[in-house]
Copies of this chain bind each other. A is one copy, B any other.
Amino acid sequence: MDILVVGSVAFDSVETPFGQVDEVLGGSATYFSTSASFFTGLKLVAVVGEDFPEEPKEFLSQRGVDLDGLQTRPGQTFRWKGRYGFDLNEAHTLETHLNVFESFHPELPSHYRDAEYVFLANIDPELQLEVLKQIKRPKLVACDTMNFWIEGKKEALVRTLGHVDILLINESEVRQLAGEANLVKAARAILAMGPSSLVVKRGEYGVLVFREHSIFSAPAYPLEEVFDPTGAGDTFAGGFMGYLASTDNISESTIRKASVFGSVMASFTVEDFSLNRLRQISWPDIEERFRKFQALTEFEGLG
C-alpha cells in the first residue's frame, strides 16, 4: 500500500558541535518519504518555491515518491536554521522563513484520494483536517504535531485527533497536550481523545508506544557518532508507517516491529547531516541494524 504524506519540503541550515551545513535538503515530508521509500511507494503533498532545484525531485522520484501533489508557487522555499549543543536532544531555532509555506493549502490530485495509509506531518492542524476531508476512506491515519499548535490551536488539534489512529509526538508534548506530568496518565488522556496508539518520541532514549491494553518500549540505538538529529522524528515515522503499509496489517505485533524499523531508520539519519546517510544505505544495512536492535534488547525469560 502506498502512503500519502503531507508536510514540508525545506532547506535547512544546521550547526552541531561536529560541523555545519547550509541550505541542505530537509523538511518533514522529505525525511518521511525517503525513509518510508525503503518499504513502500509514496504520494507526497507539499509546496516549494520557484527556487527549488531539480535534483531533489529526481532523487525522490527515483525512490518511488509520486510528486504530482508537490506544488510550486511563486517565491522562496521554506527555510529553517537551527543549532544543537552537546545535548543533541534539543534544537535551538535561529531562523524560520516560512516563505511559500505560509499560504500553503494542500490540494490532492484525484489519484491521491483513494489513499489508505496517510501521514500528516507537523503542520497546522486545520490543514491536517483539510487533507483528511479530501481522502475517501483512509484505513490508517497517523499524525505528528508540536508545542506551537498545542498552545495556539488546541481546539483544531483535538478535532484532528478525533480522526487519527496513531499520534507520534515528543515526550514533553505528551505532557503538555494532556496537562499531566505523569507520562502514563498523560498517555491515557490522549488515547481518550481518539488515537488507538500513541508513539512517544524520547530522542536518544527511544520510544514508548501506548495502546489501550499495552505499552511497548523500543530503545534508540546507542551510537558512537551522532552528527545531527534533524529529521530523526520524521525518519522514525517513515520507517514506522512504511513497514505498516508494506504489510497492510496493524496488529499489536506489527506495530511493535514497525516501531523498531522506525528506530532503525532514525539511527541512520542522525549519523550524518541532511539525508546523506539515508542516500547511502540499502536494505541489507536496514536488516543488519534491525538485528542489532534485537541483540540490544534480548533477555531470557523466567522459564
**A positions within 8 Å CB-CB of B:** 17, 86, 181-185, 202, 204-206, 208, 214-219, 222-226, 253, 256-257, 259-260, 287, 290-291, 294-302
| Chain B positions within 8 Å of A222 at CB level | 183-184, 208, 215, 217
Kindly report how many copies of this chain are found in the complex they form together: 2
Contact present for A295 and B182 (CB under 8 Å)? no
Among B223, B259, B299, which residue has its beta carbon within 8 angstroms of that of A218? B299
Among B204, B217, B256, B299, which residue has its beta carbon within 8 angstroms of that of A257? B299
Q: Which B-chain residue is minimally distant from A183 (CB atoms)?
A: B222
Q: Which B-chain residue is minimally distant from A181 (CB atoms)?
A: B86
| Chain B positions within 8 Å of A183 at CB level | 204, 222
Known: A86-B181, A205-B202, A223-B184. A216 touches B296 (CB 8 A): yes
Contact present for A182 and B299 (CB under 8 Å)? no
Q: Which B-chain residue is minimally distant from A85 (CB atoms)?
A: B181
Please list the 7 inter-chain residue pairs (A to B) with the smallest Cβ-Cβ separation, ordered nearest first.
A217-B219, A256-B299, A205-B205, A86-B181, A184-B224, A184-B222, A217-B296
In whole angstroms, how far apart are the Cα atoms of A17 and B217 in the complex?
26
| Chain B positions within 8 Å of A181 at CB level | 17, 86
7 examples of A-B residue contacts, CB within 8 angstroms: A182-B226, A185-B224, A205-B205, A217-B222, A256-B299, A290-B302, A291-B301
Q: Which B-chain residue is minimally distant from A203 (CB atoms)?
A: B205
A222 to chain B, nearest CB (A): 5
Among B204, B223, B294, which residue has its beta carbon within 8 angstroms of that of A301? B294
| Chain B positions within 8 Å of A291 at CB level | 301-302
Contact present for B300 and A257 (CB under 8 Å)? yes
Contact present for A295 and B214 (CB under 8 Å)? yes
| Chain B positions within 8 Å of A298 at CB level | 256
In whole angstroms, how far apart are the Cα atoms of A50 and B100 in the complex?
75
